[in-house]
């Protein structure tokens, strides 16, 4: 365990699902502090980011050493800003690995010394993606086994699209 180490788990988390929560729970046992960084883009409404932050905080409220923060900068700059020396990425497929490996090398180039670690989700969550969850919910499907109840409600109400 890296008791004094802060790790950044960045992503859009639109929405956060049980696969994300699984990684947070497991990684939080390895590091002193885990920051779930919710990225947005300049063309998105700030209220959408605030909603994703609040939903993630609710879904992760049972994990003590986790903080949820929104950001709109380069991931390596945000990691440096919060004192993280490691970036955590979830990997489900080889395609995920290829993309994230390219990002790892770009991040090293931008901020030497920044490390990236990969965790695979537990088998029962390996097929879940935020895109699929949104699509199922968009057609009125039941997503309750994929997301926290608060998020399932937000999806059913059309708060997340």
1 has pLDDT over 60: no
In this predicted structure, what is the pLDDT of residue 47?
75
In this predicted structure, what is the pLDDT of residue 161?
73
* Annotated catalytic residue 130: yes
Residue 99 included in any domain: yes
* Annotated catalytic residue 92: yes
Helical axes 149-156 vs 46-59, angle rounded to 10°: 150
* Annotated catalytic residue 57: no
43 has pLDDT over 70: no
Q: Which of 33, 52, 89, 130 does the annotation list as catalytic?
A: 130
Q: Given strand 2-11, what is the order of strands in its sheet?
A: 66-71, 31-39, 2-11, 86-90, 115-119
Residue 157 included in any domain: no
Split at pLDDT 50, 70, 90, the class of 88 is very high
Residue 118 included in any domain: yes
Q: Which string of DSSP letters, residue by residue, matches the chain?
A: -EEEEEEEEEE--TT--HHHHHHHHHHHTTEEEEEEEEE--TTS-HHHHHHHHHHHHHHTTT-TTEEEEEE-S-HHHHHHHHT--EEEEE--SHHHHHHHHHHHHHHHHHSTT-EEEEEPPPGGGTT--HHHHHHHHHTT---TTTS-HHHHHHHHTTS--
Residue 154 included in any domain: no
Alpha-carbon gap, residue 106 to 98, rounded angstroms:
13
Token pair listed for 63: 């994990």
pLDDT mean over 67-96: 95
113 has pLDDT over 90: yes
In this predicted structure, what is the pLDDT of residue 159?
87
pLDDT mean over 41-59: 84
pLDDT mean over 26-34: 96
pTM for the complete prediction? 0.93
CATH code of the domain in which 77 resides = 3.40.50.620
Q: Which of 80, 92, 111, 134 does the annotation list as catalytic?
A: 92
Split at pLDDT 50, 70, 90, the class of 24 is very high
Residue 13 included in any domain: yes
* Annotated catalytic residue 109: no
Number of domains in the chain: 1
Residue 88 included in any domain: yes
């Amino acid at each position: 365990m890296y008791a004094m180490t802060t790790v950044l788990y960045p992503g859009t988390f639109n929405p956060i699902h049980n696969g994300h929560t699984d990684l947070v729970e497991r990684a939080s046992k390895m590091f002193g502090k885990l920051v779930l960084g919710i990225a947005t883009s300049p063309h998105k409404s700030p209220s959408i980011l605030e909603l994703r932050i609040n939903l993630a905080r609710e879904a992760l409220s049972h994990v003590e050493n986790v903080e949820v923060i929104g950001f709109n900068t380069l991931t390596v700059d945000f990691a440096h800003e919060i004192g993280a020396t490691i970036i955590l990425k979830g990997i489900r497929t080889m395609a995920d690995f290829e993309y994230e490996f390219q990002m790892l090398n770009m991040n090293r180039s931008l901020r030497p010394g920044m490390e990236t670690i990969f965790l695979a989700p537990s088998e029962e969550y390996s097929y879940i993606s935020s895109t699929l969850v949104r699509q199922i919910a968009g057609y009125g499907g039941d997503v309750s086994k994929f997301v926290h109840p608060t998020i399932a409600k937000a999806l059913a109400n059309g708060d997340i699209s």
